[in-house]
Amino acid sequence: MGALANETAIAFKLARWPRMPKWEKKPQVACGKRVLPKERLQFLAAMISYLRDNIPAPSVAAQAYRYVAFLLTVRENEKKKGIYTKHKTSAAALGVSRRTVLDLDLRLRWFGVLRLVEKPTDQRNCNLIEITWPDPHKLIQPRPTAPAPPSSGSAVEPTPSPAGSVRHLRFDSGRA
């Protein structure tokens, strides 16, 4: 028992690098034309099935729909060129965290529902976005992924284990 008490075994699963969310593995969709005020109801009806088809988790698709409906009905202003949105304000109105609103914003931009018109400036501390019809016929080419990080300066490169494989490591405490 003494020899076994001094050793610890750890098993962990290696994942592919870089790790990407499931929704980001789908092709990025280009934004179409801006949603006009008279098209709002038609747009919201079309978004139910579009978001359900593109976002795998049903609860996240429902939150994305709530966020789009909130922006379209409460925050949209026809007199301006878009929606000045603060994630903190939207999160408080929807009853979710700011991080959730940031994630929804990224997903909706990926699938062509939101278009970033202007980034924050010195005079304005929020993004200017517009709600657009997604154009699934125009897909944006994916950016090349970053290369794997270099290994620790050893002269001999270790052979990589296949992604998803389990590697067992045994650490010795150094006690005799």
What is the residue-wise DSSP string for 76-88? --TTSSSEEE-HH
Q: Are the beta carbons of 31 and 135 closer than 8 angstroms?
A: yes
Query: In this structure, what token pair is assigned to residue 39?
Result: 């098209």
Q: Which of 132, 24, 41 is nearest to 81 (CA)?
A: 132
What is the residue-wise DSSP string for 9-78? EEEEE---SS---GGGGSPEEEEEEEPPGGGHHHHHHHHHHHHHHH-SSHHHHHHHHHHHHHIIIII--T
Q: Is the pTM of this model over 0.85?
A: no
Which domains, ranges and CATH numbers included, belong to the chain?
29-134 (1.10.10.10)
The residue assigned the tokens 């997604």 is 134
What is the chain's pLDDT, residue by residue, as a tens digit (176 residues)?
555 555 666 666 666 666 777 777 788 889 999 998 889 999 999 999 999 988 888 899 999 999 999 998 887 767 777 888 888 989 999 999 999 999 999 999 999 999 988 887 888 778 888 999 998 788 776 665 556 555 555 454 555 555 555 555 555 555 55
